[in-house]
Structure 1
Amino acid sequence: MNPLARALTHGVLNRGVHAVWRWLDRAGEIVPGTRAAAAFGSFGADSCIDFPPATLLNRRSIHLGSGVLVGRQATLSAGYGEDDPHIPDRALVIGDRSILGARVSITAHASITIGESVFFGQSVFVTDASHGYQDPTRPIGEQFGAHQPVSIGSGSWIGHGAVILPGARIGRNVVVAAGAVVRGEVEDFAVVAGNPARVVRRLEPEVGWVDSRGGVRPVLEGLFGSDPVRRPG
């Protein structure tokens, strides 16, 4: 085949492949009215899980509000295996208008609750249980840790690659910096960063946004802008 014919053939094939992929993207979306959506505990109006998902495990215990968008290659998982009889009815609850980026991984064993209008960057990991390591004679993967419910307050932003660990309780309108590892409680209207994540800015009544440690503000302004979360009202 001469170079011109080869180029023309490649161009036609390229356009065809991309056209098919766009069709698959649209046809494979999980939206209300599809059989896949009906398998969830609830699947609100105007919600969508992009195609292809990675893992959707025990959907009956997963609840999506209205206007929820979940990016492609997402893992939404409840329990330890298919048809686990011990999963709570509402193991994973995602509030209205929340947007979860591509490759998000959420594994709920007891309770993970995400509020309304919560935004995730890509590759965020959230879990309410980890592995134990107390028995040195057993593989770590066979030692399950305690279930510790996780909650993420409405209006919060969880940055790219952040990890939310068992027992985390994140307040309203919280910014979690990219790559942060969060455990424990985070107050409302705060910015946290680092591993382990610590509060680096907070909203003080009648004062505004204040730094919680010296030398941090210029870094945060570069990441989030000079006013990452506007004062309510």
Structure 2
Amino acid sequence: MRAILNRCRRLLWRTLFYRMVFGERGSRGEDLPHTRVAPSTCIDGESGLRLADHVFIGQFNFIDATAGLDIEEGVQITNFVSIVTHSSHRSIRLLGRAYVEHTGPPPGYLKAPIRIGAYSFVGPHSLIESGANIGKGCVICAYSQVRGEVPDFAIMQGQPAVQIGDVRHRDAELLGRYPWMAAHYEAWAGELPDKHQ
């Protein structure tokens, strides 16, 4: 009961005051001192969320982690993003009023975990659908609808999103201008971008 009261107090505080602060606690109780989650973001199924450090989650997002959601280090989720690990819209459409009384798994019901790879960026008003596996270093452009596999370093755009580029082209240019950053980039990316990709 005390845990529920404390959670309600935290939610009330977050709802009333939209001030974002550093420092969250992971699902296993570990400190995430560089992670920020906006108070207006709604997280459903919080126990299914695996959150790394150095993550930024902006204002007014809906995050459904009921089927499992892995947000890796350095991910940036902007504002008005929906991440859904389950969807019943097809089942409800097929079963109509019988959906409520149906026993067993409903036909057409989607439920699958989502992974967002390290140092990826999710633009505003995007939708990440159940089963999406977004690689590291990706850019999901604003208003994109992501489903399925997204390769590392992909730039994705559209509904449904398709790959329109590779972030390593621009990364190579920037590292050419700021070579001292190469060690930092290589630490998470595992490699430096090829200038001729």
Q: TM-score, normalised by structure 1?
A: 0.57
Match of 1:130 among 87, 90, 94: 87
Match of 1:73 among 40, 43, 51: 40
What SS does structure 1 have at the residue aligned with 2:87? Answer: coil
* Number of positions where the alignment pairs a residue of Structure 1 with one of Structure 2: 154
Match of 1:154 among 108, 118, 124: 118
What SS does structure 1 have at the residue aligned with 2:74? Answer: coil
Match of 2:143 among 179, 183, 199: 179
Query: Which one has the bigger helix percentage?
Result: 2
Give the root-mean-square deviation of aligned CA atoms. Answer: 3.3
What SS does structure 2 have at the residue aligned with 1:106? Answer: strand
Match of 1:41 among 19, 27, 35: 27
CA offset digits 1:173-210 (Å, max 9, x no partner): 0000011010000000110000000000026xxxx63x
For the pair shown, which has the larger CA radius of gyration, 1 or 2?
Answer: 1
Structure 2 unpaired stretches of 5+ = 1-12, 176-184, 186-191, 193-197
CA positional deviation for 1:137 = 4.0
Distance 2:131 2:153 in 1: 19
Q: TM-score, normalised by structure 2?
A: 0.66
Alignment of 1:134-213 (within 5 A): 134-138=94-98, 145-202=109-166, 209=169
Mark the CA change 1:191 to 1:27 in structure 2 (over 3 Å): closer, same or farther. closer
Q: Which residue of 1 aligns with 2:6?
A: none
Alignment of 1:54-133 (within 5 A): 65-78=32-45, 90-131=47-88, 132=91, 133=93
Distance 1:95 1:153 in 2: 10
CA offset digits 1:25-84 (Å, max 9, x no partner): 49997966xxxx6xx734543xxxxxxxxxxxxxxxxxxx442101131111108xxxxx
Letter of the structure 2 residue corresponding to residue 134 of structure 1: L
What SS does structure 2 have at the residue aligned with 1:73? Answer: coil
Structure 1 unpaired stretches of 5+ = 1-20, 46-64, 80-89, 210-226
CA positional deviation for 1:167 = 0.6
What SS does structure 1 have at the residue aligned with 2:94? Answer: coil
